[in-house]
Structure 1
Amino acid sequence: MRKCFLTGLLVLVPLAITAWVLNIIIGTLDQSLLFVPERWQPRTLVGFDIPGFGAILTILIVFVVGLLANNLIGNYVLRLWEKLLHRIPVVSSLYGSVKQVSDTLFSSSGNAFRKAVLIPYPHANSYTIGFLTGAPGGDVKNHLVGDYVSVYVPTTPNPTSGFFLMMARENVVELDMTVDAALKYIVSMGVVAPE
């Protein structure tokens, strides 16, 4: 009985957590309907709420904005909008920082999270997996003697928080592992080992 119960848990727990996370995401995206006029909302048009309609609407809006921003007129409007945002004192620093990080993370030409690496951390006799993010820049590189690289070390099980380290290149071992496999390994706390 115990074995059957544990097997049932192993099957149902990941399924339940996945359904729970998707429910939170879709519920959050459905909140975007609050910005849609009342007469255009599903409750008014068909008489009841449609779960996931806000998620579909959000995805559609993101796609249309991307489509418009990729043509000449949309690109011009986008540049004007950004110039306007850069003139507003508090908004300019916040928007500029978020834009720079998102451009780095989501750009196909960027170098964020391009390679999984093995580094000695938090001390010389223990190791962890990190991600190569580039090389130190600005005034920082003037104070580092030798060849250094920038490494992001995510925390487990939440890889969105972590540590940014600048390490000597000789202490960083590039792994023959995809970024996805390394993230699964980190999030699973080492349980799901890459092949």
Structure 2
Amino acid sequence: MPIRKYLLTGLIVWLPLAITIWVLLWLVGMLDAVFGGFLSMLSAVTPQSMDEALQRLRTIPGLGVLLVATVLLVTGALVSNVAGRWFVRQWDTLFTNIPIVKSIYNSVKKVSDTLFSSNGNAFRTALLIQYPRAGSWTIAFQTGVPSGEVAGHLGADMISVYVPTTPNPTSGFFLMLPRADVIELDMSVDQALTYVISMGSVVPHANLPKPAVPQ
């Protein structure tokens, strides 16, 4: 029916925009909540004369996003010099000596250093692997290579990969596979993620050689 066709077409047009706006609003709300909690702690230790000013700040929408971005920029600029790096080392030493906290802090720090390092290899290569059984293929991302005791048990020429789930790529599976069993794809990580999230309906364009025409 034409009406059903038009409804589906309109849904396809508006759905990506609606989801994008929803995610942005959720992010702004979360940062504003964090900022509101900070103001609540600040009002507990400041004179009552400043409470009114703090309450006004709480009513400004999106101010938490601006302040968080500003803090990140200032922090990045400060730790780019020698004095800032010394402060970060003292900060790390403090948290790595606190029981329980050090386990969480060290794990998160190692993951963030690996993911956001400009010279790292994590999530910079899209792969094609056989999972969950031979003959079934899926998209994966190389996260590094096994090391330490694990590498001693597995042997050489192994790689670590992350297999995202569909349509939510933030959850998935961690695997260690022989390098010979994976196929490196000539597509960007963004294209591969789009392919996974769309459940294969959005196919990345590839510059493949044209097949020879039989004579």
Q: What is the TM-score normalised by the length of structure 2? A: 0.84
Amino acid of the structure 1 residue aligned with 2:192: A
For the residue of structure 2 that corresponds to 1:109, the secondary structure is: coil
**Where does residue 78 of structure 1 map in the other structure?**
88
**Map of 1:162 onto structure 2:** 172
1:21 paired residue number: 23
1:17-68 deviations in whole A, cap 9, x for unaligned?
Answer: 1111111100011113221344554x526xx822211111111111111111
Indicate whether 1:44 and 2:63 are aligned. Answer: no
CA distance in 1, matches of 2:201, 2:78: 44
Unaligned 5+ segments in structure 1 are none
Identity %: 55
Aligned residue for 1:139, secondary structure, equals helix
Equivalent in the alignment of 1:60? 70
Following superposition, the deviation at residue 169 of structure 1 comes to 1.3
Deviation at 1:118, TM superposition (A): 0.5
Partner-residue secondary structure (3-state), 2:187 = coil
Offset, 1:3:
2.2
Distance 1:176 1:71 in 2: 38
Q: Does 1:191 align with 2:201?
A: yes
Distance in 2 (CA, whole Å) between partners of 1:139 and 1:176 is: 32
Kindly provide the amino acid, as one letter, of the partner of residue 18 in structure 1: T
Q: 2:152 aligns with which of 142, 155, 168?
A: 142
Deviations for 1:65-110, whole angstroms, at most 9, x for unmatched residues? 1111112211111111111111111111110111001000111111
Which structure would you say has the larger Rg?
Answer: 2
Letter in 2 for 1:123: R
Superposed CA RMSD in Å reads: 1.6
Describe the SS at the equivalent of 2:30: helix
Task: Judge conservation of contact 1:32–1:58 (CA < 8 Å) in 2.
Answer: no
- The structural deviation recorded for 1:15 is 1.7
Q: What secondary structure sits across from 2:101 in the alignment?
A: helix
Q: Distance in 2 between matches of 1:71 and 1:109?
A: 19
Task: Look up the match of 2:142.
Answer: 132
Distance in 1 separating the partners of 2:35 and 2:155? 54
Partner amino acid for 2:108? V
Residue 32 of structure 2 is matched in structure 1 by: 30
Match of 2:118?
108
> Using the alignment, how far apart are the partners of 2:80 and 2:13 within structure 1?
44
The one-letter amino acid of 2:107's match is: S
Q: 1:145 offset after TM fit, Å?
A: 4.1
Provide the aligned length of Structure 1 versus Structure 2.
192
5+ long unaligned stretches in structure 2: 43-50, 206-215
| CA separation of 1:142 and 1:33: change in aligned 2, threshold 3 A | closer
